[in-house]
Amino acid sequence: MPLIKSVRGIAPIFGENCWLADNATVVGEVVMGQHCTVWFNAVVRGDVHSISLGNYCNVQDGAVIHCTYQKHKTTIGNYVSIAHNAIVHGCTIEDQVLVGMGAIIMDGAHIGTGSIIAAGAVITQGKIVPPGTIWAGNPAKYLKDVTPELAEVFMRTANNYVMYAGWFKEN
């Protein structure tokens, strides 16, 4: 059973049809939209500031979403995929973004709609990632624009994770 815990009297709020893995952790001031999934060993920790996720977000295995006390909340838009072992901390991620495996997004960063943060990329504090761009490396740098063909990954991945969660609901 997932760990869902109030912090300082504030409990997480979940939209319709959300799914949390048995060992996922969601605590404190967290608001999730509809059809969100939080996978095995993932942590969404709204203990020191607020965290909001839009609709159709997936927080994959081992990912951590946190914020900074009295400074940086975390805001995540719709159709966002946060891949395995990524860290999203005190930043803003707009709609239809893919955060690759092991990527790190630091405080005050802003990721524009339709962008891809490559696996292992480190988006440094306060970095602004323009919409529709791919960033890679440590520290991350602009790689290229997202093509229309590649942009299909946002909706496909988000919808697939809702489907995958359905497999676990059947058990």
Q: What is the pLDDT of residue 29?
A: 98
| Closest of 112, 95, 114, 132 to residue 123, by C-alpha | 112
Encode the chain (171 residues) as per-residue pLDDT tens digits. 999 999 999 999 999 999 999 999 999 999 999 999 999 999 999 999 999 999 999 999 999 999 999 999 999 999 999 999 999 999 999 999 999 999 999 999 999 999 999 999 999 999 999 999 999 999 999 999 999 999 999 999 999 999 999 999 865
What range defines the domain where residue 15 resides?
3-169
Rounded to two decimals, what is the model's pTM?
A: 0.96
155/153 Cα distance (integer angstroms): 6
CA-wise closest residue to 97 among 51, 43, 57: 57
User: What pLDDT, on the 0 to 100 scale, is given for residue 170?
Assistant: 67
Tally of CA atoms within 13 A in the half-sphere of 170 that contains its CB: 6
pLDDT at position 169 is 82
43: domain CATH number is 2.160.10.10
pLDDT, residue 110, reads: 98
Q: Please tell me the total count of domains within the chain.
A: 1
Q: Where is 59: in which H helix or E strand?
A: strand 58-59
